[in-house]
Amino acid sequence: MTRRVIPKTSLDSWINHKIGVDSMTRQTLTGYQLRKLQETIDWAHERSPFYHNRFQGLADERLTCLEDLTRLPFTTAQDIQAKALQMLCVSQSEISRVVTLDSSGTTGEPKRLYFTPADQELTIDFYTQVLSAVISPGDRVFILFPGDRPGSIGDMLDIALKRLEAIPIQHGIVKNLAETVQRLADTRANLLIGIPIQALALTRFYEASGRMPPLVLQRMILTTDYVSSAIVKEIRRIWDCEVFDHYGMTEMGLGGGIECYAHQGYHLREADLYFEIIAPQTGRLLPEGQYGEVVFTTLTRRGMPLIRYRTGDLSRFIPGECLCGTILQRLEYIRSRQTGIIMLDDQYCLTMADLDEQLLTLSGVVDFTAVVSRQSAVVLLKIQIMVLAGTVNESDVRKSLGRISSIRLAEESGRLEVLVESLTCNRDFVPRVGKRTISVV
């Protein structure tokens, strides 16, 4: 039997080109990263009042190895909320795009990220490379992100796709499942880029509706939230579509990494971003393989560089080589953020990804909410399941929840009580946008 050859993503050849070598090794890549880190530190120290103060007495010493970066303090979401303008390294007239992110935290202040045209071009260039691994000229690509504003995700994807001679089809966020599916059929889109829970709702709506027009979708790129294996399996079963998971956040300039055909973790955008994994409590750098918080430093951004930015995402570098043979580091899929780990008692914890893996496998389920409240010694977990044109059996839900060891053990200890409610959704159901989290009240 011949073994399937897994192609590398285009990131390898792209990074070769960016660092000026024919075939990079880990050593040539880290040498490039070290030079770029030093350039970024010097640039930020000289030009940004925020970094000038922050690096007082620390920036004079040159980096001799990547680990020397740990001498510098972290940058946090709170820094961006409070001091974004002081972080700028160029005048405001050179900024072409400001992204305002509502804070999900308790502080309330929005975060603002500033990009120059050159910073945006870095993202478009990255998108072009990432897409080129799964897109051919003439492909018709359906985009489920807003694209009306210059510099928005949809707009940058549009530019990248045109560079690849593919045909972008701007649709925007799903607001009506029937309309979106009809347009998918009418436009004969063969690739879709969207949000995981919206893609699941589309596939399940399509299956439940029966007489829908045939689709020609072959591949899907999902991003912005955890892509559970339940979603990947359903999309493959219903539409026979291969799903690729992309990692990114606005702070990274929207693009961070993509998985290859081996589907074993994100291959990182290491020519533009330097990643570290740290212990969330102590800030200590962790070795490969250990779980901690993802921290990154921008290597090529000029408007508002971020140095040692704490993302709040939890993951690890996967040891060993990927089947595609890349030398790029692989980051495990982000199952949770630091704030997304909910303690059911002093021993057992729960994340939205744990619930996704079990509850989204149930037939007809398009989403659910999870709310945790504490009543003296008992924790109450209320799950509301949304089912398209039907209901789920409560015992099936409980059986699925019982497969999550923290729920099972906390229930057995008498410290957790679970309430399950099923909500029937009609054809007007609008799937959610953004990161889904367990609420604590």
Neighbouring C-beta atoms of residue 214, cutoff 10 Å: 6
Tokens at residue 215, please?
């689709």
Closest distance of CB 267 from Zn ion, Å? 6
Query: Which residues does 395 contact at the CB level (< 8 Å), separation at least 6?
Result: none
Candidates 130, 322, 344, 386; binder of Zn ion (CB under 5 A) is 322
Q: Rule CB under 5 A: is residue 324 a binding residue for Zn ion?
A: yes
Closest distance of CB 265 from Zn ion, Å? 8
Closest distance of CB 139 from Zn ion, Å? 22
Q: Which of the stretches 48-56, 58-66, 132-140, 318-326 binds Zn ion when contact is defined by CB under 5 A?
A: 318-326
What's the CA gap between 402 and 229, in Å, rounded?
A: 18
Nearer to Zn ion, 262 or 404 (CB): 262
- Give residue 434's region: left, alpha or beta (phi > 0; psi -120 to 50): left
What's the CA gap between 238 and 363, in Å, rounded?
A: 12
Q: Rule CB under 5 A: is residue 365 a binding residue for Zn ion?
A: no
Nearer to Zn ion, 267 or 337 (CB): 267
Closest distance of CB 223 from Zn ion, Å? 18
What's the CA gap between 317 and 344, in Å, rounded?
A: 28
Nearer to Zn ion, 266 or 296 (CB): 266
Which CA distances in Å does 280 have to 82, 288, 301, 330? Answer: 22, 15, 26, 20
**Residues 263, 265, 267, 268, CA torsion sign:** positive
Q: Rule CB under 5 A: is residue 362 a binding residue for Zn ion?
A: no
Q: Report residue 380: phi and psi, to 5°.
A: -105, 125
Nearer to Zn ion, 8 or 204 (CB): 8
Closest distance of CB 245 from Zn ion, Å? 12
Per-residue binding letters, 383-402, with Zn ion (x by CB under 5 A): --------------------
Q: Which of the stretches 34-42, 162-170, 285-293, 315-323 binds Zn ion when contact is defined by CB under 5 A?
A: 315-323
DSSP string covering 6-23: PPPPTHHHHHHHHHT-SS
Closest distance of CB 163 from Zn ion, Å? 23
- Give residue 325's region: left, alpha or beta (phi > 0; psi -120 to 50): left
Closest distance of CB 88 from Zn ion, Å? 36
Q: Which of the stretches 54-62, 274-282, 323-331, 374-382 binds Zn ion when contact is defined by CB under 5 A?
A: 323-331
Closest distance of CB 327 from Zn ion, Å? 10
Per-residue binding letters, 261-300, with Zn ion (x by CB under 5 A): -x--------------------------------------
Closest distance of CB 252 from Zn ion, Å? 20
Tokens at residue 99, please?
């992204």
Query: Which residues does 307 contact at the CB level (< 8 Å), separation at least 6?
Result: 40, 41, 44, 51, 72, 75, 297, 298
Crossing angle between the packed helical segments 117-132 and 11-19, to the nearest 10 degrees: 140
**Residues 180, 184, 187, 192, CA torsion sign:** positive
Per-residue binding letters, 247-266, with Zn ion (x by CB under 5 A): -------------x-x----
| Residues 182, 174 contacting (CB under 8 angstroms) | no
Nearer to Zn ion, 322 or 416 (CB): 322
Nearer to Zn ion, 9 or 336 (CB): 9
Q: Which of the stretches 11-19, 232-240, 314-322, 375-383 binds Zn ion when contact is defined by CB under 5 A?
A: 314-322
Which CA distances in Å does 306 have to 15, 37, 267, 365? Answer: 20, 11, 20, 39
Nearer to Zn ion, 154 or 265 (CB): 265
Closest distance of CB 323 from Zn ion, Å? 6
**What SS3 class is residue 419?**
strand
Q: Report residue 297: phi and psi, to 5°.
A: -125, 135
Nearer to Zn ion, 12 or 411 (CB): 12
Count of residues that bind Zn ion according to CB under 5 A: 4
Closest distance of CB 324 from Zn ion, Å? 3
Nearer to Zn ion, 212 or 318 (CB): 318
Q: Which of the stretches 61-69, 324-332, 387-395, 428-436 binds Zn ion when contact is defined by CB under 5 A?
A: 324-332
Nearer to Zn ion, 324 or 387 (CB): 324
DSSP string covering 280-323: TTT--B--TT--EEEEEEESS--SS--SSEEEEEEE-BPPS--T
- Residues in touch with Zn ion (CB under 5 A): 260, 262, 322, 324
